[in-house]
Amino acid sequence: MQKRILGKSSLEVSSIGLGCMGMSYGYGPSSDKKEMISLIRSAVERGVTFFDTAEVYGLYTNEELVGEALRPFQDQIVIATKFGFNIQAGKQAGMNSRPEHIKRVVEGSLKRLKVEAIDLYYQHRVDPAVPIEETAGAVKELIQEGKVKHWGLSEAGVQTIRRAHAVQPLTAVQSEYSIWWRRPEEELLPVLEELGIGFVPFSPLGKGYLTGSFNANKTFVQSDLRSILPRFTPEALEANQALVDLIKKIAEQKGATLAQIALAWLLAQKPWIVPIPGTRKLNRLGENLGAAAIEFTPEELREINSALLKITLTGDRYPEELEKRTGL
């Protein structure tokens, strides 16, 4: 597996990471723990060194899973986790990035992950009630104490990124980015390049849509977050089929799968971009990692982008209430 460095930091990771959220949360019932431990360890064996989790994924259970699975490989891998929410009575209960809260919850994450220091600690969502300078200052103290090595922001706006970076340099910003959701290209990517911050796209396969594995007839159970997303209504899925058809055409030309094309396209955008596709299946893991071997010529990328401009996409990525938590 090829390696990449996140921005101008010293943090080197595999060019494709593994998002672990879906193993415990977000896409229906959680998977068997032993099977997921085996999958995570198979990823390590195949060269993956970058693993993403958060305290609110399954409310602690995903961190526990990742910590147990990766304990034998701590000197080989990088674990990213996140803070920023209250958890009360077994439920997520609003945002909280106050310094005293961060310094308390980091201890729980360290224990669950079975590590002495968190490699990459993201603010999960920007808390409008707490100046970002205070949050950055708290993480800076954790770095000085040796409890955190690098830090980042998730779904943050460019002004917040600039303010945070001025207090404690950011190693990475995480946000959704894919051939289906290209809004980061407008403001975010230029600012990250200017500041030397790495970019970690989540949902690089469009929450499964870009794999071509389902169509407008697909239904989602209530515990599947896609059941509430505007882009996953039958009407939107049908309207956006033109994008899947384009990716399929490219895949046939390259002798690859749709997922591999979607990931390879992301890797081709910037050398400091590291996508973190999630999966619960060993065959999908192997498929995703195969994307690292696919390369596009400048002419091929121009042709793809030209074709994308002719496609009008339908559906917001989040309901209004969830969208309010992003880009602050």
pLDDT in tens, 88-125: 988 888 999 999 999 999 999 999 999 999 999 999 99
What lies within 8 Å, CB to CB, of 254 at 6+ separation is 260, 261, 264, 294
pLDDT in tens, 14-46: 999 999 999 999 998 999 999 999 999 999 999
Provide φ and ψ at 34, rounded to 5°.
-60, -40
pLDDT in tens, 282-310: 999 999 999 999 999 999 999 999 999 99
- State the helix-helix crossing angle for 282-289 and 258-269, rounded to 10 degrees: 40
Residues of the chain with pLDDT > 90, as a percent, come to 93
- State the helix-helix crossing angle for 33-45 and 282-289, rounded to 10 degrees: 30
Q: Following DSSP, what letter does each residue of 161-219 receive, concatenated? A: HHHHHHHS--SEEEEE-SSS--GGGTTHHHHHHHHT-EEEEESTTGGGGGGT---TT--
Residues of the chain with pLDDT > 70, as a percent, come to 100
User: Token pair 């046939």 is at which residue?
Assistant: 252
Band the pLDDT of 323: cuts 50, 70, 90.
confident
What domains can you pick out in the chain, each with its CATH number?
A: 3-210+260-294 (3.20.20.100)
Please, are residues 151 and 171 in contact by the beta-carbon 8 Å criterion?
Answer: yes
pLDDT in tens, 72-93: 999 999 999 999 999 998 888 8
Q: What is the pTM of this model?
A: 0.96
Give the pLDDT confidence score for residue 214 in this predicted structure. 85
Whether the predicted pLDDT of 178 surpasses 90: yes
> Among 253, 258, 255, 256, which residue's Cα sits nearest to residue 299?
253
Q: Once rounded to an integer, what is the mean pLDDT over residues 136-149?
A: 98
Mean pLDDT over the full length of the chain: 96
Whether the predicted pLDDT of 71 surpasses 90: yes
State the Cα torsion 82-84-89-93 to the nearest 10°. -130
Whether the predicted pLDDT of 150 surpasses 90: yes
Active site residues: 57
Environment class of residue 207 by beta-carbon count within 10 Å: exposed (0-12), middle (13-18) or buried (19+)? buried
User: Token pair 């596009």 is at which residue?
Assistant: 296
